[in-house]
Structure 1
Amino acid sequence: MTYRCLIVDDEPPARKLLSDYVSKTPSLELAGVCSNGAEALRFLQEFPVDILFLDIRMPLMTGVDLLNELPEKPLTIFVTAYEDYALKGYELDVIDYLMKPVSYERFKKAVDKAIDYLSVQVGSDPPAEKVDYFFIKTDTRIVKFLFSEIQAIEAQREYIKIITATRKVMSLVSLTSIANALPGEFVRIHRSFIINMRHIDEVQSNEVLIGKELYSISRNYRDEFFKKLGDRKLL
């Protein structure tokens, strides 16, 4: 299977290098090349892609601005000469962060990581039997969770924290990647929080109470959350 990708960089040598790397990678198909964020925004509105190779400092619209404008973000790999954007990348759920000049070996490692996440979404037919659990890797263990027991999932930089009534487990996974594998009772209410609606005790203005914990509802996710909440209200 091949994955469509878009390269966005204002430097011609960087665009050429990444294009060459894509052509050397059988799992990738180059859908387009853009020289700034504004051009990329127009492209993505018409031609969705699976993977986005994105520079950060560009004229007209930065890479960060572009991601903030996209309602549905491709799996993104930052490619930049500036280390100080690493934290911002994790806040935006980018899958990897490549420093220029990028070697092909490092490029391929980032691509393999992205494809691992994408294959969870599109790599298999729906199972005949409903699966109500999953396994996730921690630093030293592989831990089983029932979907029904999870109260919330919190992003902590490049890690997530899975919260149940009895335990909290950390794993090196992005919040976006695990969101794509969760069933319908889960909803994102903040760039840092996904909550399980089955465990909601109260909704208090812009916060959700689950047990003794309050989780903030951000403006970007408020409409989606309250629509889903409304669908489940009896009166």
Structure 2
Amino acid sequence: MKYKILIVDDEPPARKLLSDYVSKIPDLEMAGTFKNGEEALRFLKENSVDILLLDIRMPLMTGMDLLNELSDKPLTIFITAYEEYAVKGYELDVIDYLVKPVSFERFKKAVNRAIEYLSVQVEAVESPDKLDYFFIKTDTRIVKFLYAEIQAIEAQREYVKFITPTRKVMSLVSLTGIANALPGEFVRIHRSFIINMRHIDEIQANEVVIGKDIYPISRNYREEFFKKLENRKLI
């Protein structure tokens, strides 16, 4: 599996160096490069990535401002020339903090940490289509879920909420990483929502009703959702 990675840095030489580093790691797929936070934010509102390489001090919008604007944050590695931002960076739950100039070995170590984190978000020894359960890490526990019991999964800033009829559990994971590991009855209908089609009660215009909860269907995910729905309709 390849993980999509995005580079945001206002310095052209830094973008070129990081792009070269990315090309040397087989597990990574370049999603794009941007010179400022505003351009990156527009892209991330329409597209999902797994890993974000993010400079902090940039014109127009800082890296920290960009992260604060995202409801579904990718795993983020800060790359900057200013060590004093390290503490603030970890408050935002970035997975690593690299100080320029960055060697390839240090870059590789940070990226491998992110890849390892993504690969164990959903722990299963076989394909999820063959198992009926999975495990998710929370701050203090490892929680077991049955796929069939999950009604929806919601991104809340850097956390993801797993919603069942009887409980709601928060975990520090990526919604994109979760989406890639779920079986076929799950479908993403919004940047912030994945729903289980088994639990749908009604569909009203651009909303899905599950019990007392209503989930919006965004334009970017509408086609995929209704394509899956068509395969399950009797008439």
- Same fold? TM cut 0.5: yes
Q: 1:229 to 1:170 in 2, by over 3 A?
A: same
The change in CA–CA distance for 1:94 and 1:106 in structure 2 (over 3 A counts) is farther
> Could you tell me which residue of structure 2 aligns to residue 189 of structure 1?
189
In structure 1, the residue matched to 2:66 is 85
* Closer/same/farther in 2, CA of residues 129 and 17 from structure 1, 3 Å limit: closer
Counterpart of 1:200?
Answer: 200
Aligned to 1:212: 212
Higher relative contact order (CA 8 A, sep 6+): 2
> What is the DSSP-based 3-state SS (H/G/I as helix, E as strand, rest coil) of the residue aligned with 1:63?
helix
Q: How do 1:1-235 residues align onto structure 2 when only pairs under 5 Å count?
A: 9-15=9-15, 18=18, 22=21, 29=24, 49-50=28-29, 52=31, 54-57=33-36, 62-68=39-45, 73-80=48-55, 81=57, 82=62, 83-88=64-69, 90-91=70-71, 93-101=73-81, 102-103=98-99, 104=102, 107=107, 110-117=110-117, 119=119, 130-235=130-235
Question: Helix, strand or coil for the counterpart of 1:198?
Answer: helix
SS in 2 for 1:180: helix
Amino acid at match of 1:77: L
The runs of 5 or more residues in structure 2 that have no matched partner are 82-97
Count, aligned residues: 207
How many percent of aligned residue pairs carry the same amino acid? 59
Amino acid at match of 2:76: D
Contact 2:49 2:176 (C-alpha < 8 Å) held by counterparts: no
Runs of 5+ consecutive residues of structure 1 not aligned to the other structure:
32-47
Within 2, Cα distance between the matches of 1:152 and 1:182?
A: 12
Q: In the aligned structure 2, how far is the partner of 1:128 from the partner of 1:198? A: 16
User: Counterparts of 1:191 and 1:2 in 2: how far apart (Å)?
Assistant: 20
Normalising by structure 1, we get a TM-score of 0.72
- Shift of the alpha carbon at 1:116? 1.8
Q: CA deviation at 1:67?
A: 4.1
Conserved? CA contact 1:56–1:79, under 8 Å: no
1:85, 1:19 → 2: CA distance? 20
- TM-score of the two chains, using structure 2 as the length reference: 0.72
SS of aligned partner of 1:226: helix
